[in-house]
């Protein structure tokens, strides 16, 4: 993949991870209140959760590949 595409993937992944992390923080503090689910509805929220999971995998794989290059 080109460097431009990889940069976009990295930025999108980080944004999704921040959104997911903040949502889980709110869930923990407010006794299970899921802000993403409330704002987007359960169907779209499920898609967002899958994207957050894929973003986490992308960051993990990216980190592993960077270690191999060094």
Q: Is residue 5 part of a domain?
A: no
Q: DSSP class of residue 32?
A: S
Q: Provide the whole-model pTM.
A: 0.78
Q: Is residue 4 part of a domain?
A: no
pLDDT tens, position by position, 2-39? 889 888 988 999 999 999 999 999 999 988 888 999 99
Q: Is residue 27 part of a domain?
A: no
> What is the per-residue pLDDT for 33?
87
The SS3 assignment for 51 reads helix
E-assigned strand segments in 1-70? none
Q: Is residue 69 part of a domain?
A: yes
> What is the per-residue pLDDT for 1?
67
Residue 45 tokens read as: 């929220």
Number of folded domains in the chain?
A: 1
């Amino acid at each position: 993949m080109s460097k431009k595409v990889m940069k976009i993937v990295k930025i999108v992944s980080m944004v999704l991870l921040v959104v997911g992390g903040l949502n889980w923080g709110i869930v923990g503090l407010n006794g299970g209140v899921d802000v993403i689910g409330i704002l987007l509805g359960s169907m779209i929220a499920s898609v967002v959760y899958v994207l957050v999971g894929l973003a986490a995998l992308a960051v993990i794989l990216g980190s592993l590949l960077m270690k191999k290059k060094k």
